[in-house]
Structure 1
Amino acid sequence: MCGITGVYAFNMVGRVSMINVSNSTMTLAQRGPDFQGSYHDNIVALGHRRLSIIDTSACGHQPMSDHSERYMIIFNGEIFNYKELREQLVSKGVTFNSETDTEVLLQLYITEGKSCLEKLNGFFAFAIYDKEEQSLFLARDRMGIKPLYYLEDENRVLFASEMKAILAYGIDKTLDYEALYTYLQLNYIPAPKTIFRDVKKLLPGHSLYIRNGKVTTECYYQIPYKKNSHTSLSYDDQKKKLAQLLEGSVQKRLVADVPLGSFLSGGIDSSVIATLASRHKPDLHTFSIGYSDEKFFDETHYARLVAKKIGTEHTVFSLTNYDLYRHVHDILNYIDEPFADSSAIAVYILSKETRKHATVALSGDGADEVFSGYNKHAAFLKMINAGSAATTVGALTPLWSILPKSRGNALTNKFRQLHRFGKGMKLSAKERYWQWAGYAAENEAIKLFTNDALSALNRQKYQSFKDQLLQYIPEGGDINDILYTDVRLVLPDDMLTKVDRMSMANSLEIRVPFLDHEIVEFAFSLPADSKINSQLRKRIVQDTFRDLLPTELYNRPKKGFEVPLLKWLRQEMKSTIKDDLLADHFIQQQGIFDVKTVQKLKRKLFSANPGDVHARIWGLLVFQWWWKRHCA
């Protein structure tokens, strides 16, 4: 895993940006602590930070050129089928200087051009410069596991693995208020938008090509999903195929020349991955995180059961609320674009502790979005089936609205879920998805803006952006429509962003076997009832691997990788909320948010009925910290 950055200059003004490549590259040091390299000519400047995983020798340093020195590559990611691709290239007479997947990717591009992307199995963001044509080719992996930011204007194209590396070029920092409005609802910013008006994220499965002053973007991959067109395999044969595909995916992701382990949360997904990995790596080391003073969130008991069953060396990192508070400054300082999924705190600490033992870790991420594992999926199924129970819940919405709601214990969390479900029943399919995907409704988020901020918000552009994100959710659709949107929206812009940023902050590479594109394509060939029914979520995953896992993992509530945020905000972060980042005087001086609306949110946070307000407060805190650091 690495960090990349670069400039393509259209003119002399653009070339001035090249003096910042070294500083931009240095901002990515945590992504690649092992080596820093650079290249520049009159057209292009490239910077690279290396985290050595495969062929850790100097032969793998980047930027890397071919034998003729016509082509130059910088690469972030892993190509898991690089050995097979290498053999094919050798059979055509290609020779290699290293054992790296980077050189295989470079030679594949030289041989096949842009179509090389169709042969890659892995996750990546890379740039390849052709000196003779003076062209630059950028690409991002199919699922969006690796990030790629870019800025295009009349003078240059800038690109980088993280926003902080783009900021190092001294860009304009005008906020994108449509992006901010979206963030205030979802707690993250979906691609292609970023918090800055001029910076974009390259979409998953897309490439960008620059030649002769022209910039073109292309979609080279979309999940081949056809509504109501499903596999003819029986359910038993579906399970056999999933077992075969997932074991193959795990096995491919065990290749490394550095220590490799596996996350083990105690849930089904990570337990399956660790179990399959242990078959091929007898010395597998597994890692989990627990909360010593928050038993409601702690699942380490189940992780230990799995570790004992599969015989791994297992390490548990037990945290207190104070541990979360102790790391928060480092986490917020690393976040270079507002991102407020609070479980990032736990991922950061898990990655930090795991890095002491391994450089690569496998993870169960992606299974929930692909195979239907979330509460909202079960709620959508109830809506689709429209049974009497769902109707009753909807009718009782006035009751749920007055009952105490919070994530702090099982009962109040159930009231919270019932209230969200009841409200969602009254909405269209698209609006229902949007509400259940976020923490604040549009009318709630809009109240946070001052008049000046409202005047900067283009509601027509916002609506167009939202329509684009929700375009695959029809009225009367099924769960697969919801999952397809999750994989295009929630997965890359929330879940994978969280894992990438928090792992890279600790120089740890995370590999996600469930997101091998062959598995994702297989998943979208399945009928909805193979994934979820009224009794079971992720049905095919649970059924396929049931005999391999301890029985205690089944028939228990899904908790997710959450943190006890409510108590933490009310105690350790109380002074930060009241006296600093959300203090009236600071809000007033800043001029973005309405003081009275923020006051109401603060009162609700410290009330007996906080609901989901802690997530909204956390979103505001993250933005405020970011704004002070980058914009004030």
Structure 2
Amino acid sequence: MCGIVGIISEDSEQAKEFACRRMIESLLHRGPDGHSVAVKDSVGLAHARLAIVDLSVHANQPMRSHATGALIVFNGEIYNHKEIRNELLGNGVAFRTSSDTEVLLSAYDYWGEQFIEKLNGIFAFAIYDVRRHCVLLARDRLGVKPLYWVREAGRVIFGSEIKALAASGFVQLYVDKNAFSEYLAFQNNFQERTLFNKVELFPAGSIARIEASALTVSMRKFWQASILPSKSSAQDIKTSLHIALRSAVSSQTQADVPINSFLSGGIDSCAIATIASDNFDRIKTFTCGFMLEGVTANEQLFDERRNAESVAAQIGSEHYETVLGEHDFLADMHEWAWHAEEPRVGSSFPNFCVSRLAAKFTKVCLSGTGGDELFAGYPWRYQPAVSSSTWDDFVTSYYGYWNRMVSVNDLRALVGSTENSQYQPQAVFRELMDSARTRVEGSGNQFLDASLIFELETFLHGLLISEDKASMAHGLEVRVPLLDNSIIDLAFTIPAEMKVSMEANVSPGTYGSAGVSAMPHYATGKKILREVLSPYVPEAISGGRKQGFSPPFETWFRRDLSSWIEGDVLGSNSPLRDYLDIDVAFRIWREHLSGEKNHRLFVWGLIALHLSIASFMRRANA
């Protein structure tokens, strides 16, 4: 894992080198083991290295091909790099390092752009082909590794984080008012949109060819999720899934540094840590808990330290915990905001803190992220898929589950009197759902499978970006075995009824959205995955309820954080006043403060937006 940046322009080589150096210096937290810049022709590239595979200086980047002179900067891990290396060796290709970076570069030299189809890993990279005078940009299937870019004024500028683009000296950050409204609607931004005007996410599962002189861009998807259910028996599928799971953990625990694991207390991370422990004498595990004095009964369930401790004892791991209170957020919120950059789904603050703990002991942690989205872990969201008779009814009903922050009427009141009113959340949602529908033609439950594709491409994408920022803030690489190519491919062949069964009692919505105060009680999602993972964890975990990883914000906001929220987030000098009706925001806030309703998601959204604008953007533009 590393940080990468680049610029393609007709600026002088000196100007490009200066810009690249400023950009990469803003990302040294991602790569504390060394950084370097290379400029050739109209292309400048730079890299900050976190050394994981081949720790020698010969594996430093930017790396130059000894065969063609091509240059590469690469962030990520290629888990099948040894297999690709052996195939290239069989075709007479020579290597100077044992790094996966050189494998990427040599694979491009040998196969051209089609080499992307061979990769199993998490990555964002840029290759400058000096012979063809073009730059290739690519990002892994699901977007585990972020890559941002700006295209304007005769330049293409890209980097692992938004702050690097601002550091170039060519990009000034402004709030995109449509993105602001979209976040208030969905607690997320979809597709390539970011909170900042003209800054885009490079699309996941895509590769682009940029002609370095004309700056023309041709892009294609090399992978996109689609459902094609298998006719295999449930037992055969479980056997295949078990083999794929153990293989994925095995391949993702290969490195030249120790591999350790997060341990949240949920079934996914607990099983992965258990399987990983088979490969090492003793692994280290890391858990985040919360101070629970005076919190609600629902929030008591957020702390999973007891489950984590039981698994740590079972596998004999060297176990570490961090415990957070509201004072920790007040102390660290500006540092968190600098690394988070823009708000995405959920709260990545606990991830940021547990990553800081883990980084004191290790460079690499395994995570259980992805199991819920691939295997239908949120049954309360899928009720519209079994209760709707038409596609239009389903999309309308399902939209209600993703209008997470505030009600439709409150959203209209919040932004309706501003320039944001041009944003149409229902239309955006419908477009994404219609796209998902075209890729579930073979499904026995098209509504449910379309919702899983939507969640994979929106909700999971947001989680992955947040997890990357939270961990790489401390120079910590996070690997996600449940998102290995083999498991992704298998998951999309598993019929929906093997993944989830619906309960008769339906939760009224996501906890904390539109005033909902009850935690969902479902334990019926991820059926087949639970069965495969159950031998690795205690029964209390394998049959336990599904819940998210969140601080007890409902209570925290009403206590120590309340005066700061009123004085800063909603105060007279708050930048939020430029983008929403502050009186409406105050009315919703007071409903939460009084205990009349639970608006924790909305209040968190205001805090995240405030910090992104008042803290991150102000500092990045300085």
TM-score (norm 2): 0.88
Q: 1:620 to 1:426 in 2, by over 3 A?
A: farther
Would the alpha carbon gap of residues 348 and 587 (structure 1) be closer, same or farther in structure 2, given more than 3 Å must change? closer
Structure 2 counterpart of 1:510, one-letter code: V
Please tell me whether residue 439 in structure 1 is matched to residue 405 in structure 2. Answer: yes
Partner in structure 1 of residue 166 of structure 2: 167
For the 8 Å contact 1:30–1:506, the answer to whether it is kept is: yes
* AA of the residue aligned to 1:620: L
Q: Is the 8 A contact 1:193 1:200 kept in 2?
A: yes
2:543 is aligned with 1:543:
no
Q: Which runs of 5+ in 1 are unaligned?
A: 387-424
**2:614 matches 1:615:** no
Query: Gapped runs of 5+ residues in structure 2?
Result: 294-299, 439-444, 504-523
The one of 371, 374, 377 aligned to 2:375: 371
Deviations 1:423-463 (A, max 9, x none): xx998322333331222244322322263424xx5346x66
Give the equivalent residue in structure 2 for 1:498.
466
Kindly indicate whether the alpha-carbon contact (under 8 Å) linking 1:265 and 1:299 is maintained by their aligned counterparts in 2.
Answer: yes
Q: Who is 2:585 aligned against?
A: 598
CA distance in 1, matches of 2:31, 2:330: 26
What is the SS of the residue equivalent to 1:489? helix
Instruction: Say what the alpha-carbon RMSD is for the aligned residues.
Output: 2.4
8 A contact 2:287–2:321 mirrored in 1: yes
- The answer to whether the aligner puts 1:355 opposite 2:362 as a matched pair is no
How far 1:175 moved relative to its partner?
3.1
Q: Secondary structure at the match of 2:103?
A: helix
Q: Displacement of 1:180 after TM fit? A: 1.4
In structure 2, what is the equivalent of residue 627 of structure 1?
A: 613
The 3 A distance-change label for structure 1 pair 619 and 315 is same
Q: Post-superposition shift, 1:532?
A: 0.6
Provide the residue aligned with 1:233 in structure 2: 232
Q: 1:617 Cα shift?
A: 1.6
Instruction: Please identify, of 262-271 and 550-559, the stretch whose mean Cα deviation from structure 2 is larger.
Output: 550-559
Comparing 269-278 and 543-552, the one that deviates more: 543-552
**Structure 1 CA distance, aligned partners of 2:192 and 2:546?**
31
Does the CA contact (< 8 Å) of 1:191 and 1:202 recur in 2?
no
Aligned pairs (5 A) from 1:174-213: 174-211=174-211, 212-213=213-214
Whole-angstrom CA distance in 1 between matches of 2:414 and 2:352: 29
Q: CA separation in 2, counterparts of 1:24 and 1:585? A: 31
State the secondary structure of the residue aligned to 2:287.
Answer: strand
Question: CA shift at 1:277, angstroms?
Answer: 1.0
CA distance in 2, matches of 1:275, 1:380: 36
Q: Which amino acid aligns with 2:472?
A: M
CA distance in 1, matches of 2:283, 2:22: 38
Structure 2 residue matching 1:247: 3-state secondary structure: helix
Structure 1 residues 4 and 466: CA distance shift in structure 2, 3 A: same
Question: Which one-letter code corresponds to 1:485 in the other structure?
Answer: F
1:205-260 deviation per Cα after TM superposition (whole angstroms, max 9, x unaligned) = 1011111512111111112424xxx2121111111110000100000000111121
Question: Matched residue of 1:559: which SS?
Answer: coil
Return closer, same or farther for 1:429/1:15 CA change in 2, 3 Å cut-off. Answer: farther
Tell me, yes or no, if structure 1 residue 217 matches structure 2 residue 185.
no
The correspondence of residues 71-86 of structure 1 with structure 2, limited to 5 A, is 71-86=70-85
Give the Cα–Cα distance (whole angstroms) in 1 for the partners of residues 240 and 497 of structure 2. Answer: 17
Q: Residues 593 and 272 from structure 1, CA distance in 2 versus in 1: closer, same or farther, beyond 3 angstroms?
A: same
CA distance in 2, matches of 1:203, 1:429: 27
Q: Give per-residue Cα distances to partners, 1:363-420, cap 9 Å, x unaligned.
A: 1100000001114345346536x9xxxxxxxxxxxxxxxxxxxxxxxxxxxxxxxxxx
Q: 1:595 to 1:312 in 2, by over 3 A?
A: closer
Greater shift in the superposed pair: 543-552 or 202-211: 543-552
Deviation at 1:359, TM superposition (A): 0.7
Q: What is the aligned partner in structure 1 of residue 103 from structure 2?
A: 104
Deviates more, 1:374-383 or 1:564-573: 374-383
Matched with 2:350 is: 346
Shift of the alpha carbon at 1:131? 1.5
* Cα distance between partner residues in 1 of 2:16 and 2:340: 24
How far apart are the structure 1 equivalents of 2:490 and 2:183? 32
For the 8 Å contact 2:24–2:48, the answer to whether it is kept is yes
What is the 5 A alignment of 1:80-95?
A: 80-95=79-94
TM-score (normalised: structure 1): 0.87
What is the CA distance between 1:172 and its match in structure 2? 4.1
What CA distance in whole angstroms lies between the structure 2 residues aligned with 1:524 and 1:280? 28
Task: Please give the per-residue CA displacement for 1:528-550, whole angstroms capped at 9, x wherever unaligned.
Answer: 11101136210001112323321
Instruction: Provide the C-alpha distance between the structure 2 equivalents of 1:366 and 1:273, rounded to a whole number of angstroms.
Output: 12
> Where does residue 491 of structure 2 map in the other structure?
523
CA contact (8 A) 1:47 1:63 kept: yes
2:323 equivalent among 300, 315, 318: 318
Measured in 2, the distance between the counterparts of 1:443 and 1:139 equals: 40
Count of paired positions: 582
